[in-house]
Amino acid sequence: MIYPILRRLAQMLFVMFGISVIVFLIFFATPGADPAARIAGRNASPEVLEAVRHSFGFDRPLYVQYALMMQKIFVTGDLTSFVNRGWKVVPAVLDSIPVTLSLVFGAAVLWVVFSILIGVVAAATRDSWLDKLLMALGLLGISMPVYWVGEVMNLVSQSRYHDTWLFSWVPPLGYVNFSDDPKGWFLALVIPWITLSILYIGIYGRVLRAAIIESMQEDYIRTARAKGLSETRILLRHALRTSLIAFVTLFGLDFGALVGGSALLTEVVFGLQGIGKLTYDALQSLDLPMIMATVMYASMFVVIANAVVDFVYILLDPRVKTS
């Protein structure tokens, strides 16, 4: 059991290193324009440009530049924005992490609970109208752009139907700190959680249904029937339990993509000051140091999250544990 975990850890470190190199190359070595000019932002004065060149070591070899960048982002944390003069970006990124995590974990809970529910119900009522309806809804969920769903949610809950009993509880857009007001935190995040989870409920409901139906064809399901177990128990304890292994693998991949992608769009639409919103604002002002930091932190988080999911997988599947 130790060996697979160590192997996975080594792989994680390798991928982290690889991603950091790619980020570095994109920001510092993309041909077309002077990287210093990009970092300094629009209309930078010659003095600022010179300061950028010096502080990022553009007159030195590439590997020194890489080391300097990593040092600024992860060690000293003194990467500064030039668009917002002197703003230290690393603390800003760290401050925004709880917002993003609140959004992502809440959505992940909804996504896991509802996709299992939908997958199981659809598989149990296979080929019925209910199954077809759930699968069509799942497909719709997959096909809608997540930020657009957010806008529709806002339109409904903030404007058109805000004054009805259904949505009068919805607070104005924005984030509330959990430590300040747990109830406010929860209410502020309910709609974003739903928005973000819709896409993944669609995907996972469909994937899980297919996996359950496939494992219902397995010999061990026939054994379970021969044992005289109830259909519900066979479905939940045998078919679902073995399907969850595939579910967890996918979850690892998508959980990362979620943090790095859809969560960003959701934060923008709902005005939540997380890493995504930070990135969005920096995109509008072409603030490269900020984007460097958010991309680096977010992708490192994603890689770590993926590894953690794989550890869970190792615990979940006895075949991996002992081989």
Name which of 60 and 227 has its Cβ closer to other proteins.
227
For other proteins (CB under 8 A), the number of binding residues is: 83
In whole angstroms, what is the distance from residue 284 CA to residue 178 CA? 29
> Of residues 73, 108, 213, 264, which one binds other proteins by CB under 8 A?
264
Q: Among 119, 192, 256, 274, which residue sits at the site for other proteins (rule: CB under 8 A)?
A: 256
CB of residue 220 to other proteins, shortest distance in Å: 4
- Residue among 110, 259, 278, 309 that touches other proteins (CB under 8 A): 259
**Which listed residue (49, 283, 308, 314) binds other proteins by CB under 8 A?**
283
Q: Looking only at residues 23 through 42 of this chain, which bind other proteins when binding is defined by CB under 8 A?
A: 23, 26-27, 30-33, 35, 37-38, 42
191-230 binders of other proteins (CB under 8 A): 203, 218-220, 222-230
Q: How many helices (H) and strands (E) does the chain have?
A: 15, 0
If one asks whether residue 238 binds other proteins (CB under 8 A), the answer comes out as yes
Segment 295 to 314, residues that bind other proteins, using CB under 8 A: 295, 298-299, 302-303, 306
* Whole-Å CA distances, 31 to 26, 120, 292: 9, 51, 17
Cα within 13 Å of Cα(81), Cβ side: 22
Query: For residues 48 and 186, which CB has a smaller minimum distance to other proteins in the complex?
Result: 48
The DSSP line for 255-318 is HHHIIIIIHHHHHHHHT--SHHHHHHHHHHTT-HHHHHHHHHHHHHHHHHHHHHHHHHHHHH-H
Of 43 and 179, nearer to other proteins (C-beta) is 43
Token look-up 């502020």 returns 188
* Closer residue to other proteins in complex, CB, 102/154: 154
CB of 263 to other proteins, least distance (A): 9
Distances, alpha carbon 300 to alpha carbons 15, 23, 234, 239, in Å: 9, 11, 40, 35
Residues 143-172 that bind other proteins (CB under 8 A): 143-148, 151-152, 154-155, 158-160
Asked if 105 interacts with other proteins (CB under 8 A), we say no
Least distance CB 75 / other proteins (angstroms): 21
